[in-house]
Chains A and B, each alone.
Chain A
Amino acid sequence: MNINTPILWVLVPIFMALVTGTLFQRRTLSLILSISTALGLTLLAIFFPEDLTLSLGPFTITFVERLAFLGRQITIVSEMLPLVALVYLATTLWILSSWVTDTPEIFRPTSLVVSGLLTAALGVQPFLYAALLIQTAILATIPALSHTQKRPSPGILRYLGLQTIAMPFILIAGWLLTGIFTLPPDSPLVSQSMLVLGLGFALLLGVFPFHSWVPMISESSHPNVTSFLLFILPTTILTFGLNFFDRYAFLRTSQDVFQVLRMIGGLMVVLGGIWAAIQDDFKRAFGFAALMETGFSLIALGLAIQGGLNWLLMLFPARAMAYWLWGYTLSKFEVHLETLNLQTMQGFARRFPFLSLELVTAQFSIAGLPLLASSPVKTALFTGVLDVAPGLGIWVFVGNLGLFLFTFKAIASLVKPAEQPMPQSWSKDEKLSDYLPALIIIVVIILMGLFPQIFLDPIRTTLTAFTQLQ
């Protein structure tokens, strides 16, 4: 029996999303189906047989890595599976957290559809068509993002607008790049193509000055939905972007391109850090932290010659855990408060010590505090950028301090007794079931920080899917 891998990791989740979407009123059944689908696909991606055959008693299943579709192909090669496993592991975790938080019911089918479409985007040939699949995934996220609101927020409209405008840029750039092999490197068409391509990716990734939707939707939408979206979209878009470096030699050999990427990344870290530092709102601060992370990804791309592509991939699992933790704890706090800012959450650590600790750990992990998940990669990135461009390295370091500053402000506010007639004493208003899932993730975050070679290294295999980038 033959099974095409795209059927498994693209069509099955989309089909299951339709099933769970239909059954959304039967919450438990929908949850079980969603979780088992996402977890099953994660495990299959992790334990996928290298020889593409699986023997189950008398049955032998042969996996085919390609699926012909409307005259083109979707290919999910085994080298890409570590990333696919991460995508579905993240989906599993976020679906699990939707169970214990008041996440909109539509989130579960949405997350499966988005994961399926984005996995297809990783494998569609010609790879340019991925822009359309990403656009479809973006459209699928809209109901989950706006579910808790009374009317579509300006942030969502801006997100939809900017992401839709991005797609034609990528497709036109792809067309312009078609005949580029025959042109001399100083041809104006080369720089024009790079400009159009850069604009497309800047719009997709929310690069400054197209970033405004990130803090806006982070503030207005459910934290669990936003954190999932802000993890899964940039991860896939950045991996899709690697295709361009793999295919076009003038991109991967151009020092100017890498320099521009480092500078834009640095600018995003600095601006994101400053904005995060002056925030009062935890949800908006998360948006700015996500912008900083996009900046770090661009810096890693810009350090490709120094090994930055490995760091880019290694950032993904660490980021997934921290984003999940931040989204989960904010979702839990949102049950008690309408707005999550430094004033309203004053003294919360005295009532919810574990959840507060978990929130602070998430922020420290994203900021790259030693012993936490991001720290090994962030240290390598800082060292790399300081070697190549010391001035930029100092700016990046200073920008990153912005998130530390916000976290210290948050700790001060969470610990300070709330202004009440009686002095607020320490108590525990949280249940074990509230904070236990996040405690487990904290342990994973610490383990990732301590043993990056075990937890972060496997995803580097993804790079072997790009023959020119190894």
Chain B
Amino acid sequence: MIFLKNISKEYKNGVRALNGINLHIEKGEFIYIIGPTGSGKSTLIKILDGEEIPDSGEVEVAGVNVGKLKHRQVPYYRRKIGVVFQDFRLLPKLTIFENIAFALEVVGKNKREIRKRVREVLKLVDLEEKAKSFPHELSGGQQQRAVIGRAIANSPKVLIADEPTGNLDPDKSREIIQLLEKINEEEETTILMVTHDSEIVNTVKKRTVALEQGYIVADIMKGGYIKHD
């Protein structure tokens, strides 16, 4: 589903964010990307998202050569992937239902389709009772579930989650992981989760890729957080 071949990226300020990354992720996989700040995780997400173009190498996601996309093709590519950014919040003046519907409205779906899909998504993220609530009436964990719901509303083949448990307590974090696992199974979505959370990586074991200074330093199928000094 995701192929990265020899990806390198250097920013204009001279920072080499990624150095010859090779990564192959199968359809339906659930993988963690771990690494300290500045290891290149964010750049990796931006390249997968089509926001940045790699200096060299090839990126293929869901059959699309992402590095070669023209500006106007990027939005259509984005409909195939879902991205949950750490700092993306819900629109405060819209209800949870409307927030999720928003993702479908902006890609031009018709009303009936939207209503049907939003109900499905709300059920999946277990927020059916909160459909008419506004974001500020929800807990942090519930808000994060709504954000994930919005990201998967367009039934993306790949879901990229950047620190989805970043601001949550361990219980709520586990809930989010369970939700992602459920999406992984029920929607057959390939999931790539960037995280700092060693607790989660060690308890809910998945394939784990460790990045450091732009290199992949470990790729462990059975998972577990790798400690460095």
Same complex for A and B? Answer: no
